[in-house]
Amino acid sequence: MTSRVFLLALAAGVACAPNGRAPGEPGPGPPPQPSGPAAEVWLTTPDGSRLLSREPDAHFDSGPAPSITTIAVDEAATYQEIVGFGAAITDASAWLIQNKLTPSQRESLLRDLFGRNPGIGLSFTRLTMGASDFSLRQYSYDDMPAGQTDPTLVHFSIDPNRADVLPVVQRALAINPQLKIMASPWSPPGWMKTSGSLIQGTLLPEAYGPFAEYLRRYVAAYGAEGVPIYAITVQNEPHFEPSDYPGMRLEPPARARFVGGYLGPLFAQNGIGTLILDWDHNWDQYQSPLQVLADSVAPRYIAGVAWHCYAGDVAAQTLVHDAHADKDAYFTECSGGEWAPNFADNLKWFVRTLIVGSTRGWAKGVLLWNLALDEHYGPHTGGCGNCRGVVTINSASGGVIRNVEYYALAHASRFVRPGARRIESTTGVEGLETVAFRNSDDASKALIVVNTAALDRSFAVRWAGRSLTYAIAAGSVVTLAWK
């Protein structure tokens, strides 16, 4: 009887052991370590608690992907070469950076924006040729008294940009020599236009030649200052004539005639390699660039089409690309503003539509509007009174706030370097929108995923016969970067 009680007690003790093993039985040892390549994980959450935050690495391991949503990344399928991501150094942005920051504040901000590791590596920017609504005054590079003209451009000068725009761009280039710079005029000098003013009107027939020379001189003058101009458009938003800041309507037949008969031949004769892009306006009126590209002469001088976000759908980029696959696409303007103040909504929209949608729609570069504005959404002269900069500079203290646009750009710009190629990735499954790139210098990869669904999602990434798994909260953005 005593021996039976002992055996029952021993059995109960074994059954109740907290580790589920018999006394003295060896344990299983530490969990197996991941054997595959590590992927850095960089996360931004819709509540702002994580802002481009470095999270624990995820690891690719051999074997099939788990039975969950799978994003397949295929390096063998390659698409457009990437120029970069960035925002416009408007007159307002340059003036704030140059005048409202101390030298150390200025250097710190420019290194953060244009440097890489720890900066976010912006490598694409846009300048305004003369004034836009985000200037401190309205001007061109050859203003004349009312009733006077200057067809030989005796008075042409980029001096209005010497105090702020040029120094800021030159320093950005010194920090990032790969920085590509495009430029767009909001208006030619008033004497070239039917309105006689920087405001409204269209280009006079007798001004086609002088305006082409005006653009050539701009490219040459900036080049002489060590600022090469990668690309230009002939007119910002050519279907819009604003009433209180510089602008000009330029219909498709006029743009085709100007580029085919004047600007294109002038650049070719002078050996100017600056690219000429058409349109520089919204997705909704894609028939306008299609009409220019149907011209018999102009397309030989046009390298691509530039797009804005304010009307229509990003799918227009693919529609035009499919019709003219030899013409590149560039996304050149979109602004956030206080009409849309919610961080979570903006994060999802900017990443889904511009970082993912525009690059999947063949964009070689993605540009937002003002790089920097002050706490009053300026300075500006006319136009938008509540646009938001990528960063906000406090005009009294020089303090910098990094806005949602900063983080949307950074999820691409920090990891996708100039010369990268977009590669194939599964997208649009279970609300997961994606785009992937392969860098040309070290073959590293970057996969950007935004969860547009209302629920958290788990997914696998399948690459080169290996898989990793990751769980992403609703509305979050993650960049996975690996070699």
**Sign (positive or negative) of CA dihedral 101, 46, 282, 337:** negative
* Residues β-bridged to residue 203: 193
Cα–Cα distance, 57 to 59 (Å, whole number): 7
Q: What is d(CA 217, CA 155) in angstroms, rounded to the nearest whole number?
A: 11
Q: Is 237 a catalytic residue?
A: yes
**C-alpha span between 275 and 259 (Å, rounded):** 12
* Tokens describing residue 380: 């500006």
Between CA 426 and CA 208 the distance in angstroms is 47
Length of the chain: 483
Largest CA distance in the chain: 123
The whole-angstrom separation of Cα 314 and Cα 291 is: 19
How much is the CA Rg of the chain, to the nearest whole Å? 27
Catalytic residue among 75, 333, 338, 375: 333
Kindly tell me the burial class for residue 144, based on how many C-beta atoms sit within 10 Å of its own C-beta (0-12, 13-18, 19 or more).
Answer: middle
Element (H or E) spanning 404, and its range? helix 404-413
Distance, CA of 418 to CA of 362 (rounded, Å): 15
- Please name which of 368, 361, 369, 481 lies closest in space to residue 433, comparing C-alpha atoms: 361
Q: Chain centroid to CA 171: how far? A: 20
Q: How far, in Å, CA of 403 to CA of 372, rounded?
A: 10
Distance CA 441, CA 418 (A): 9
Q: Report the sign of the C-alpha dihedral through residues 420, 436, 477, 339, in that order.
A: positive
Instruction: Tell me whether residue 241 is one of the annotated catalytic residues.
Output: no
Please give the order of strands across the beta sheet that includes 421-425.
53-59, 38-44, 477-482, 445-451, 432-438, 421-425, 69-81, 457-463, 466-472, 61-62
Closest CA to 259 of 270, 267, 248: 267
Distance CA 237, CA 243 (A): 14
Place of tokens 């031949």: 265
Among residues 7, 75, 165, the alpha carbon closest in space to that of 464 is found at 75
Residue 367 near residue 405 (C-beta atoms within 8 A): no
Residue 100, burial from CB neighbour count under 10 angstroms (0-12, 13-18, 19+):
middle
Choose the catalytic residue: 25, 75, 237, 241: 237
Backbone angles phi, psi at 401, to 5 degrees: -110, 130
Active site residues: 237, 333
